[in-house]
Amino acid sequence: MKIYLAGKQPNLRSITLFHAMARLGYEGLIITSPTETYVSVGYFDKTEEIIDLQKCREKEIPVIRREVGGGAVLLDENQVFYQLILKRGSGKLPFRIEEAYRKFSVPVIETYRRLGVETEYRPINDIVVKKNKRKISGQGAADIEDSFVFVGGLLLRFDTKLMSEIFRVPEEKFRDKLYKSLEENISWVERETGRMPSYEEVESILVEEFSKILDFEGFGEIPPEAVSLADELKEEFTSEEALLEDTGRKHRAIKIKEGVFVRTAVHKARGGLLRAEVRIWEGVIDDVRIYGDFTLYPKISLRELEESLKGVPFEEEPIRKKLEEFLSREEVEFPGVEVEDLMKLLYEG
């Protein structure tokens, strides 16, 4: 098993290369970085619901679907990727997936420490800054052929504004809310330390730290056959068929980091246009705002509804129960708005 220093790769190879290496049966650690900016959507994502494909085309930002789960991410040259490929049955893997995440997060946490940022593992797949709990690395794992892959990236600098622009939102007015949430919950090395480390510095530290937990047989050259296959996979993974494949997943909210989601929605009811902004924290509604072109009497009851939803699990039955209780109150008049309208606004797609 070797270490492959792939350097800065063009043509989306920074993500297709580990797929190709796994399919060809290679083991090892790949360290790389992209020369371009692009969007990677998770294997189970429903691309057209989570990403504004038209906006990406206008900005000439490629979109690719990877064979690893997790959410949609914006990738660029200011990130350094670590991609570990291990054979199933090799004895190098912990028994459980979360144990694998914990073990293979250690070198990344130590790399951040050496760069001046104290971080910690946040189950199941995030690394966060200790002092402010902002996400600073997202990770993913999957089976490709007979291999287990564990991948992630170190954020040296990150463009939260651009990321907010490529997500799909029901109305443009919600984009500022999304941008604010990203700013509050994501961080990067330069933001935390005031210093922008070089790719070479990060690469060197990652090699040292991963070598402390795994035995490598030196360095290897990327096989030409892997480069060829990676370029073939790029065409497959960026095709309309792959991007628009219906995985059955319904995006009820945009994931900001592990445990934090933001939902923005618009719904047209008989009684008028309803709009909502919902923040979900650790599986419960942390904050909610409902507004729009509708009639509600008494008007103070809107704030009462919002307050009653705080702390409610972001699940269908608890939300429905609260809405039924609200609309059954004798003093509340919400003409043209039913429970199902509010469910579509607050929870359903």
Give the residue extent of every domain in the chain.
2-243, 259-346
Q: Is the pLDDT of residue 103 over 80?
A: yes
Secondary structure of the chain as H, E, C letters: CEEEEEEEECCCHHHHHHHHHHHCCCCEEEEEEECCCEEEECCCCCHHHHECHHHHHHCCCCEEECCCCCCCEEECCCEEEEEEEEECCCCCCCCCHHHHHHHHHHHHHHHHHHCCCCEEEECCCEEEECCCCCEEEEEEEEEECCEEEEEEEEECCCCHHHHHHHECCCCHHHHHHHHHHHHHHECCHHHHHCCCCCHHHHHHHHHHHHHCCCCCCCECCCCHHHHHHHHHHHHHHCCHHHHCCCCCCCCCCEEEECCEEEEEEEEEECCEEEEEEEEEECCEEEEEEEEEECCCECCHHHHHHHHHHCCCECCHHHHHHHHHHHHCCCCCECCCCCHHHHHHHHCCC
What is the average pLDDT across 94-122? 92
Q: What is the pTM of this model?
A: 0.82
pLDDT digit string, tens, across residues 267-298: 899 888 898 999 999 899 999 999 888 888 88
Which tens digits make up the pLDDT trace of 138-157? 888 889 989 999 999 999 99
CATH number assigned to the domain covering 259-346: 3.30.390.50
Q: Does domain 2-243 have CATH number 3.30.930.10?
A: yes
